Chains A and B, each alone.
Chain A
């Protein structure tokens, strides 16, 4: 399967714990994005990488959130001191071209439940 892969698919944690999600993009894609989607809502942009450089961050990305993309391949999104409001689906996407053309390839998401 050459699509975008995300792990874990579902994470249940207690408030205050740290969680980390991993995204493996389509291998030839140099652009990688993280979005967050809550129930009944559309995805909200979190951050964007071009190769290993994190070029854009949303105001939604508080200090408790950090994302990395070492060596420009896979990416991780860490949430420290989780809060119940962090419960959401975290979607990773990758692309070869700029988003003007709209073609983002999304993974199936990592669902976070904070108790």
Chain B
């Protein structure tokens, strides 16, 4: 079993919908949680970063971390066709040096 699990999708939604993307993880030592967005044939780019538990909001994006359930979420409000991409969660523990552990990614398609 992988340390970080994501539903690969694809997740197809109409424009304007609220999107919920999720990751579960098994390593309780993870303290730092990130969401990256990856467009086709491009490198990942950081969307959101959260330390430990709680919520963080940035524009249309909200990241939630529930360490007790080992579950993190990314919500996208008022989704746009330009949000169509693969969303990767990534995590890090204090004892893992500089290594990020990524989930497999969820492919999102927002239809006009």
**Judging by beta carbons under 8 Å apart, are B102 and A31 in contact?**
no
Q: Are A102 and B100 in contact (CB under 8 A)?
A: yes
- Residue pair B97, A55 in contact (C-beta under 8 Å): yes
Which residues of chain B are near A100, meaning CB under 8 Å? 32, 51, 92
Q: B49-64 CB contact bits vs A (8 Å, 1 = yes)?
A: 1010000000000000
In the assembly, what is the distance between CA of A48 and CA of B103, in Å?
Answer: 19
* Residues in chain B near residue A65, CB distance under 8 A: none
- Collect the chain A residues with CB atoms within 8 Å of residue B8's CB: 40
Q: Which residues of B contact A58 (CB under 8 A)?
A: 99
B98 with A108: CB separation less than 8 A: no
Assuming A40-B8, A102-B32, is B42 touching A45 (CB within 8 A)? no
- Residue A72 at the chain B interface, CB threshold 8 Å: no
Instruction: Flag if A102 contacts B49 (CB, 8 Å).
Output: yes
* Interface flag for B7 (CB, 8 Å): no
Are A108 and B99 touching (Cβ within 8 A)?
no
Q: A41 is contacted by which of B49, B98, B100, B104 (Cβ under 8 Å)?
A: B104
Contact with B along A58-73 (1 / 0, CB 8 A): 1000000000000000
Beta-carbon contact of B103 and A108 below 8 Å: no
Instruction: Report if B46 contacts A (CB, 8 A).
Output: yes
Cβ contact of A42, chosen from B41, B49, B99, B105, cutoff 8 A: B105
- B residues touching A (Cβ–Cβ < 8 Å)? 4, 6, 8, 32, 34, 41-46, 49, 51, 88, 90, 92, 97-105
